[in-house]
A and B are shown apart, each in its own frame.
Chain A
Amino acid sequence: MKVRHIRKYFATVSVGILILVAAFAFANLQGTYSVPPPILDPNFKLWADTSTAPQLMVWGNESVKGPFDRVAINETVDKGRNAVELGVFQSGEGSGWVYEALTQTLDGGRLSALFGATLGLWFMKEPCHCDDDPFNRTAVTLAVEVNDGIHTLSIIFSDKYAGTLALLNHRIEFKPAPSGTWAFEEFNFSKEYAMAHWLLPNTLTFRIIFGVAEGSVGWHYAYLDRITITSNSLHSSQAAISNLILLPATLTSRNSN
């Protein structure tokens, strides 16, 4: 009799308990979904050995150059840091800049994650020579850029000049950064979009661009170590702690390795 009763109700009861447990877990685990990473391979670790030259596997690679200019990407080590070396040879023949860029296109969850995070970049650059005029004939610029198809936001690592150049659909920010040594800068793209009064896009291309103007003839190099990703909620709590111990947040993040 007892066994028959168990058999009669067991399925319903067990499924009922499962639903209750799931509902309890659902209620208590709200907000725990970890968004996908906005930037893939942020440490620039995955290299593909091609027959011609090494290539980053996950990152896209774009270049603009004349017939006598050259671009190169190499894996290297500097002061114990594994780094990507972006090399540009400006021949000076022709009248254009030479650009080389690493790119990733984001949409969906990764794009939401990008706008919900603060990105940081460890890099080493040459002097920019771009403080007076970013597009002068001798500029050697390393920049981070996002482009959503309508708007472009460029963050140029200048020598000393800090400021913003706002055009209709293009915003250029100059962030001073030291040359010849490893530097760290952070970017909050949702804040930048809000300041520009642009709507958040559905898709976006993230680029790290190294460009050399026609007057700087010869080989030039920029080095990238890694991109750090800090969710904005975590970032604000870190900043609060930094303020609490009377240290500027930027200083603490620069020193963190």
Chain B
Amino acid sequence: MSHFNRVRYESFILRLSFLFVGQFSLYEGFQDWNRGRADIHPEVAVATLLIYAVSLFIIALSLMPDATVFKLKDFALVPLVLATITSVYVVAEIAYKGSYRTDVLAFSHYAAILVTKGLNPYTQDLTPALSMFAVQPSDLTPLSTGNYLATFQYPALHFLVFVPFVLLGLKDMRWVLLIFELAIIAVLYVKCPANLRPMLILPLYAGSDLMINFTASSVSDMLWVLPLVLVAFTIDKKPIVSGVLYGIACAVKQPPWLLAPFIIIYLVRTQHTKGARNELKRVAEFIGPALALFFFVNLPFAFGDALGWLRDVVTPVTSDLVTLSQGPAVLSQVGLIDVGRAFYTILTIGVLVVLVTNYYIYFDQLRYVVWILPGIILWFSYRALTSYVIYWIPLMLVSLILWYNSTNNHRRRRST
């Protein structure tokens, strides 16, 4: 492609991105005006005015001369970030009146409070958190007995991350989730090749759930996505740092655990200096720090009651949670088929084995697909919620950047 054509092509994509950003932000602005009752909340009125203004500006910008368009390309972040912050505020603080919409965040926040009082959350009844943060009955996690989950079911970093903010007096931990979310955007933006900005982050905004509604509803997965994004960017050149970051992700929540076999294959298959010893060394450089970090964070809480800690963190696998799925298990929920949890567990393990073995065999073709594979596996589980799948999208964007850089390097090497 000639330089002239490439500029025209990039300019066209950039203009389309501006239109997308403008349209999305206008949509969110209108939603915020509506659900945030801009007629009685001055801060919402001012924020929606700003969103409308920058949205209209970027829509107009999409058909200005090339020089202006390229000069102001980073401006696309302004409406998106403004709309994100405003929408999270409006949904969390006005529509939900400050109440948490998941028991997970209520338990985590309460656990952080317990830690500041010198108590071990794994040995405490966490039900007071539900009324403390006004969690609705529909947002609780029922067991098949009709009782509800009332223990902490995640590794310790899931509440430790909130401890400094509890000490600072922060009342709503969704703002911490939002900080993680904005950090993810920043990392993706900075690491993205300049000519792919801002279009690379647009898939995050294909719908309001991932970046707005889920965070506003207290879904806490951004906490592990950020360290995993950094894992993906560092795994090739800094396996030890990457291992530490992977340990952090695993010490937050369980979904990153599913990546372990794929990462080991990745480390082995991308090893340029062949030989079993080198491969083993590279895997050890990654896994060692990951395990060390994971146990460093969790052991203090497992010391008093190791079995209790283990029972709690494997709750999603061992506990008798009710079937709830946006995956194949919905067929059982609706009564079309009559197979239960055991069937979906076999299916999930089967899919895991097939994907791991195929990833090894077809590594050259599947190398960059790795980050969505845990999402595919979890989709077959008896509990398969959209959040188990959708949070892998930022990781897929990292993979897209790495794939793009790799093909560019390859092309450059061939041309020289």
Measured CB to CB, the residues of A under 8 A from B are 6-7, 10-11, 14-15, 17-18, 21-22, 25-26, 29-34, 36-43, 45-50, 57-58, 109, 112, 229
Contacts and interface: CB of A to CB of B under 8 A. Distances in A.
Contacts of A7: 361-362
A6 B323 CA distance: 38
A45 B323 contact: no
Interface of B: 127-128, 130-131, 137, 140, 142-148, 322-323, 332-333, 335, 337-343, 346-347, 350-351, 353-354, 357-358, 361-362
B148 A41 contact: yes
B343 A29 contact: yes
A36 B322 contact: yes
17 contacts: A11-B358, A15-B354, A17-B354, A18-B351, A18-B354, A21-B346, A25-B339, A25-B342, A32-B339, A33-B340, A36-B142, A39-B146, A40-B142, A40-B146, A40-B148, A41-B146, A49-B128
A22 B130 contact: no
A43 B338 CA distance: 28
B146 A37 contact: yes
A49 B361 CA distance: 57
Contacts of B332: 33
B413 to A, nearest CB: 26
Contact of A22 (B137, B148, B347): B347
Contacts of B339: 25-26, 29-30, 32-33
Given A32-B341, A34-B340, 12 more contacts: A6-B361, A11-B358, A14-B358, A18-B353, A29-B343, A32-B338, A32-B342, A34-B323, A36-B323, A41-B147, A57-B137, A112-B335
B342 A45 contact: no
A109 B333 contact: yes
A72 B142 CA distance: 27
A36 B354 contact: no
Q: What 9 A-B pairs come out closest when comparing CB atoms?
A: A37-B146, A32-B340, A48-B131, A33-B340, A29-B343, A58-B137, A42-B146, A25-B346, A33-B332
B146 A229 contact: yes
A124 B342 CA distance: 40
B341 to A, nearest CB: 7
Contacts of B357: 10, 14
A37 B142 contact: yes
A15 B362 CA distance: 14
A57 B142 CA distance: 13
A199 to B, nearest CB: 18
Contact of B148 (A10, A33, A46): A46
A46 B339 CA distance: 31
B359 to A, nearest CB: 11
Nearest to B349: A21
B222 to A, nearest CB: 28
B347 A29 contact: no
